[in-house]
Chains A and B, each alone.
Chain A
Amino acid sequence: MADSDLDLRIWRGDAKGGELVSYRVPVTEGMVVLDAVLWAQANMASDMAVRWNCKAAKCGSCSAEIQGFPRLMCKTPIADYGDHVTVRPMRAFPLIKDLVTDVSWNYEVNKQIPPFTPSEKDMNTSEPWRMQQKDVDRVMEFRKCIECFLCQDVCHVLRNHDGKSNFYGPRFMVRIAALEMHPKDSLDRRPLLKGNAGLGYCNVTKCCTEVCPEHIKITDNAIIPLKERMDDAYFDPVRALIRRIGGGRKPKAV
Chain B
Amino acid sequence: MKSGAIVIAILVVATMFGLVSKSNRGRFRVKKNFHPILSRAEIGADLGSVATVLQFSSAFCAPCRATRQILENLTPQFPGIAHIEIDAESHLELVRRLKVHQTPTTLFLDANGQEIGRAVGAPKKSQLVAVLEKLHGAAHVH
**A and B physically associate:** no
